[in-house]
A and B are shown apart, each in its own frame.
Chain A
Amino acid sequence: MSDLDCAIRVTLGERFSLRARLCLPGEGVTAIVGGSGGGKTTLLRALAGLEPDVVGSIALGGEVWLDTVQKINVPPQKRNIGVVFQNYALFPHMTVSQNVAFGISDKNPQNMSEYLQSFDLSDLAHERPASLSGGQRQRVALARALATNPELLLLDEPFSAVDVPLRAKLRDELWRAIRHRGVPTLLITHDISDVRLLADWVVVLDEGRVIRSGPTNLVLSRPRSQRAARILGWDNLLPVEAVQSSTASGDWGTLDLYRPGPDGTVCLGILPDRISVVSKPGRNTLPATLEGISRVAGGIELNCRLHDGTRLLILQSIDTAIPMIGSIMVHLPKKSLHCLGDALPLRDPDHKTVPLAINSLFSPANQEAA
């Protein structure tokens, strides 16, 4: 499969602009993750051809969808994409089978019947969207989007309209449907669970800029910047005041680093499951106050606070002894401590080079960020 190359600028009023340079793999699932107002949906709409004021270039493989220099702008009808909108956007006056068949030129009833069967929609073929549950609507929207054999599937927060218990089931159905058909997929989400469970590649968007991209495991374990870490659900961020050789210090104390900390480090990040409670002070231990204990998926969560007030979450396995509420000592292994810059990645070895059609779109700072 060919890659999706995109170098675009979208300005929405005076307050927001999206500037994104991306080269995404043309297979598997890519998650676009970011906070609300970060530009995720704008990026999806620009790729789909639904955003009117887009400047730059977009190409899937050798096929150019947008090139404002060459005055090429392929309309959404010709881009051969499938889109599942946030509210599904099913046609309320049509039945399920009419919705699914809307984009198909060949409406052979036999094929349609088999197709609906593959999405477990046969019994609902003559129902209208108003009588369907949230999960059934999502299945119809997905079936409709995939019915045209799209070259790219775009999913805009497909689980936001359903409650938490249903999410896991829908996520599983979605995963099977897109893997079975092998269609490259772009998933817009703000839920890190979606990223962890569905995506092969992840792009982090913040205030209209790409601040991190790469394979999911790498990006989730090494966010490289404080802002990316926050978006990726890193709860433990220790503000750093000074980095000297292989130590970092802040109001919370001093910790040894595995490697010398780079210039520009503003905080240390550590995942909750890498921290342990120890009985005695030692190298890379800090005093803390255990304020709360809760049971979560995957173990026990200890809600702590360092003596400067910095919050620290610890995830420990169920079979580990649970400490008493009050003063404890925590160990932060130096190999698990990540030095994070403010917004820009300190260094991004997995960064892919993007052939740019319009270099003038981006200031040098933005090019570095992207």
Chain B
Amino acid sequence: MLWPPVILSLKLATATTAILLILCWPLAWWLATTRSRFKPAVAAITALPLVLPPSVLGFYLLLLFAPKGPIGGVWNALTGEGGLAFTFIGLLIASCIYSLPFVVQPIQAALENLDRQQVEAAWTLGASRWRTLWHVILPQIRPGLISAIVLGFVHTLGEFGVVLMVGGNIPGQTQVISIAIYEQVEVMDYDAAHILSALLTLSAFVVLAMVYAFLGQSGTSAGFRSVKT
């Protein structure tokens, strides 16, 4: 049964990337443009998953997601399904938090590199904010946006510590590729572990190679090197 973890991982990575793109856009815009005194604090919170050991983050999330925890309790009160720990929804929220800086920082870097006067020039030419976003901002931050999508997706695909702490190892529900590989090594099924590991390595390599090729062609690496891993 090699495919269920692969499908679950792809589902988790796709959902995480999609959610983060929507959530991170306003956050990245704010971080790139604000002069607020709260910016350092918000930037530090955003970057925290980069430096925290996954087990630490996973531990705190586990406490928060427990049926009597602050978030898990609310979820339980609303749905009556217990806490968020060891569920796909819990896994999704944990992935979003863990991969947040990998999506925010490339978009933020691209927006910081954008000439603010071009946006203002578009406004003075009568362009609405939506048209300015679509025709002036997005075409110019495309490399940063693609970096954010790829990094968010690939990073979610390969995460282990947080997933193990929050989701455990429930086949079909929370057992993603990395957990499945760990389990197969534990039960000495090296063939299955090889297949999944090779699949993960190859897909990550292909995606990254494609991105580097694209960034090389577009003459920029905006945002891709900005994530302080």
Binding site for B on A (CB under 8 A): 48-50, 75-83, 85-87, 89-93, 102-103, 144-145, 148
Contact = CB atoms under 8 A, between A and B. Distances in A.
B139 to A, nearest CB: 5
Given A81-B124, A91-B121, A145-B125, 17 more contacts: A50-B123, A76-B123, A77-B127, A77-B128, A80-B126, A89-B120, A89-B121, A90-B118, A91-B136, A92-B140, A93-B139, A93-B140, A102-B127, A103-B125, A103-B126, A144-B125, A148-B125
Contact of B126 (A86, A87, A148): A148
B115 interface: yes
A314 B120 CA distance: 45
A80 B127 CA distance: 11
A91 B120 contact: no
Contacts of A86: 117
B27 interface: no
B118 A91 contact: yes
Contacts of B139: 93
7 contacts: A50-B124, A82-B124, A85-B120, A87-B117, A89-B115, A90-B121, A103-B125
A91 B121 CA distance: 9
B25 to A, nearest CB: 20
B123 A103 contact: no
Given A91-B136, A93-B139, A75 B123 contact: yes
B142 to A, nearest CB: 9
A77 B120 contact: no
B146 to A, nearest CB: 15
A93 to B, nearest CB: 5
Nearest to A154: B124
Contact of B127 (A81, A85, A103): A103
B126 A89 contact: no
Given A92-B140, A93-B139, A85 B125 contact: no
A77 B126 CA distance: 4
A123 B115 CA distance: 27
B123 to A, nearest CB: 4
Nearest to A101: B125
A85 B122 CA distance: 11
B121 A83 contact: yes
Contacts of B127: 77, 102-103
A33 to B, nearest CB: 22
A81 B117 CA distance: 15
Contacts of A79: 124
A157 B159 CA distance: 52
Interface in B111-155: 115, 117-118, 120-128, 135-136, 139-140
A3 to B, nearest CB: 21
Contacts of B115: 87, 89
Interface string B182-226: 000000000000000000000000000000000000000000000
7 tightest A-B CB contacts, nearest first: A103-B125, A89-B117, A89-B121, A76-B123, A83-B124, A85-B117, A93-B139
Contacts of A91: 118, 121-122, 136
Nearest to A85: B117
B125 to A, nearest CB: 3
A108 B128 CA distance: 21
- Which of A48, A82, A85, A145: most chain B Cβ within 10 A? A85
- Most B Cβ at <10 Å: residue of A87, A90, A91, A148: A91
Contacts of A78: 126
B140 A77 contact: no
A89 B123 contact: no
A49 B126 CA distance: 12
Contacts of B125: 102-103, 144-145, 148
A103 B140 CA distance: 18
A113 B126 CA distance: 21
A75 B125 CA distance: 11
Contact of B124 (A48, A87, A90): A48
A97 to B, nearest CB: 14
A86 to B, nearest CB: 8
B217 to A, nearest CB: 14
Contacts of B126: 77-78, 80, 103, 148
B220 to A, nearest CB: 11
Contacts of A76: 120, 123-124
Q: Which of B124, B125, B136, B139 has the most CB of A within 10 A?
A: B124
Nearest to B116: A89
A79 B126 CA distance: 8
A89 B118 contact: yes
Contacts of B123: 49-50, 75-77
Contacts of B135: 102
Contacts of B124: 48, 50, 76-77, 79, 81-83, 145
